[in-house]
Structure 1
Amino acid sequence: MKRSVSLYSYQDEYYEGKLNLESCLAEVSKTGAEGVELLAEQMIKRFPDSIDEESFQEQWKVWLEKYQLKPVCYDAFLENKLFDNRTLTLREQVKMMKRDIRLASILGFKVLRTLVSTPLEVIEGSLAYAKEKDVKIGIEVHAPFSLNSTWADSYLDLIKRTGTKHFGFIPDLGIFCKSIPDVVRDKALIRGAKPECVALVDKAYEKRVEDGFIKIEYDLNLGKANMAYREANGLSKLLESVKAMGGGKADLDYANASFTYSWSDPQDLIDNIDHIIHIHAKFYNVHDDYVETSVAIPEIIDALKTAGYSGYLSSEYEGGEHLRNYTNVDSIEQVRRHQQLLKDSISLISN
């Protein structure tokens, strides 16, 4: 297994002007990671035009060589709601997907991440071009979606029907949360949530983990599918219990937020390993003892080792969004700790 870092992790420092694209790459290199995952729309000025310019292409190559990094995954965003009055047509969406495949190829990326909301028809319409450019399209399996579910089955059917080697899954490790991230809990308490209501929500989450989450069903309407998933896993009952305890807005927000996270058996990784092309190693908070208290990293690494996974795990820090309004965010230190945790976990399992 190899390690990389998604530049998404450094969004706070980038936004505040503490880091630019080159210094983000420098920070990745300092962690000992081999690869980099890029959000071009976020971090490349004058996107997408500048990527076609020879000067930028040469600069990108110089940076990669300077910091000894490999381009691992290009994160694309299918902006199918560019207009207020309509969604992009299928033809327009496929054109945008092909644009991103081409840009990924120019920058040396062999994997393109597309969002969970990407329609099957858009992926299928882009497969021939992906093959031509030798870029694999990976759909992100982001909570509350999961592998070994009817949602995933629809994409597996596409793979079987087309026989493609240029499409697969990119699991996000947020689907392996054994508890609600502590930074989310801390934010709720700062906002005035009652400790007894927070404890109730935490206990309800633990019960869902123990009993097993009812997985989300495939539906073209993702909003509808998401709400059905929440209801099936006890949202209304939990909200009623919080209200009965006198919970206010902060308590209800925390209860709702608890359904943003989910637990899947790491066996899902083993079952689908033939179609996993990259992994988003999502994390929320790594303590100074190098423990991530929410994401079950040792169990995940163990499953990947059993399955024979030899691809990249890309650190993706998402704890900052829960901290930035209340305290300083130190994404650089968080990514450093997470990379060390991944390194130690891989080494331990390997031995």
Structure 2
Amino acid sequence: MSCDIKRSISLYSYQDEYYDGKLDLEGCLREVAKTGATGVELLPEQMVKRFPVSVESEEFRKQWFGWLEKYHLEPSCYDAFLENRIFDNRTLSLGEQIKMMKRDIRLASLLGFPVLRTLVSTPMDVIEGSLDYAKEMNVKIGLEVHAPFSLNSGWADGYMEMIKRTGTKHFGFIPDLGIFCKNIPDVVRDKARRMGASEKCLKIVDDAYAKRVEKGFVKIKYDLNLGKANMEYRLANGMQEMMDAIEEAGGNEADRWYANMSFTYSWSDPQDIIDNIDYIYHTHAKFYNMHEDYVETSVAIPEVVEAFKKAGYKGFLSSEYEGGEHLRDVGVDSIEQVRRNQEALRRAIEE
């Protein structure tokens, strides 16, 4: 089956350089272009000053599209955050949340983005209440499938039911490659060591993760209470047994931190991509550490990209670097990490 896989970069990847003042928004776009990627994913609340007022101005939009033309880039995905708890004493009403979602759909359209990313914390009725407007603005809403969530699961079934019931063509999924981790990222393990974790407890956690991969993860269920769903997921995947083993080994705070972190990654069969390709509008090519030989030691990049190719995917794989948060005490080089990831993606796509 023919495919058209393009490469993009989420500017989230450059957050450390942006925060430290080494890159501004244009500088981030310039770095994207240097890698050979053609798409750009934007977190406007993170990198657009005076958001959302500035996006409304013709001056900013003229500058934005001027940069895209200068660096030969196209918008791939607009990352939205439904801030439904902006008040101390209450959650926003359904109407207020839909209004905020519509605002972001409109802003995404103004900046040329065909897809808007929303988080799993976005209530389904907010998404459903925004579908007509998304169609009107020709912007597709993509729900990020981030570990511990997964496709082909009871959690995803709830959204699939809504898609089929409404017949919408403007809501689907954005898988995050953090659901395709065969190992816990090495940068996380190294951080645990620096925190004082013992090799004995690290092995207990690594072995427990390997067993989950081997036998298959018990997938998370759909529940409006995400905290409850997440805890049930952890317990179903052996959390208590692993924590008991750590305590018996005399584990310390660093050991327990590493054990808890192990549940923020998961392994899904790449067949999930093939089964759901008609509903995948964009993809976060999440990664944690690219070595000099362009190998990511946790995310199975070649295997996953092969599934996208087999499925005939027509869309972007957008590099999203998340290893930097575990390296801030020793130094982060997001620019080099993203360059390596883009090269790994290029090789996997073109081979």
Please indicate the TM-score interval, normalised by the length of the shorter structure: over 0.9
* Residue 332 (structure 2) aligns with: 329
For 2:346, give the aligned amino acid: K
CA distance in 2 between counterparts of 1:230 and 1:67 reads: 44
Following TM superposition, by how much is the alpha carbon of 1:72 offset from its aligned partner in structure 2, in angstroms?
Answer: 0.6
Matched, 1:207 2:211: yes
For 1:340, give the aligned amino acid: E
* Residue 154 (structure 2) aligns with: 150
**Alignment partner for residue 94 of structure 1, among 82, 93, 98?**
98
Counterpart of 2:286 in 1: which secondary structure? strand
CA distance in 2 between counterparts of 1:298 and 1:206 reads: 19
**Alignment partner for residue 308 of structure 1, among 305, 312, 315?**
312
Deviations 1:24-50 (A, max 9, x none): 000000000010000000000000001
Matched, 1:195 2:196: no
**Alignment partner for residue 181 of structure 1, among 157, 180, 185?**
185
* Residue 345 (structure 2) aligns with: 342
Counterpart of 2:77 in 1: which secondary structure? strand
For 2:237, give the aligned amino acid: N
**Alignment partner for residue 263 of structure 2, among 259, 265, 279?**
259
How well do the aligned residues superpose, as a CA RMSD in angstroms? 0.5
Counterpart of 2:129 in 1: which secondary structure? helix
Runs of 4+ in 1 over 3 A off after TM superposition: none
* Residue 297 (structure 1) aligns with: 301
For 1:121, give the aligned amino acid: D
TM-score, structure 1 as length reference? 0.98
CA distance in 2 between counterparts of 1:49 and 1:93 reads: 19
Following TM superposition, by how much is the alpha carbon of 1:158 offset from its aligned partner in structure 2, in angstroms?
Answer: 0.8
Deviations 1:40-98 (A, max 9, x none): 00000000001111100100010000000000100000001101111111000000000
Matched, 1:280 2:284: yes
CA distance in 1 between counterparts of 2:325 and 2:181 reads: 17
Counterpart of 1:4 in 2: which secondary structure? strand
CA distance in 2 between counterparts of 1:202 and 1:14 reads: 33
Q: Structure 1: which 5+ runs fail to align?
A: none
CA distance in 2 between counterparts of 1:307 and 1:35 reads: 21
* Residue 324 (structure 2) aligns with: 320
Aligned length in residues: 347
Following TM superposition, by how much is the alpha carbon of 1:196 offset from its aligned partner in structure 2, in angstroms?
Answer: 1.0
CA distance in 1 between counterparts of 2:325 and 2:120 reads: 20
CA distance in 1 between counterparts of 2:333 and 2:225 reads: 37
TM-score, structure 2 as length reference? 0.98
* Residue 67 (structure 2) aligns with: 63
Counterpart of 2:8 in 1: which secondary structure? strand
* Residue 43 (structure 1) aligns with: 47
CA distance in 2 between counterparts of 1:327 and 1:31 reads: 25
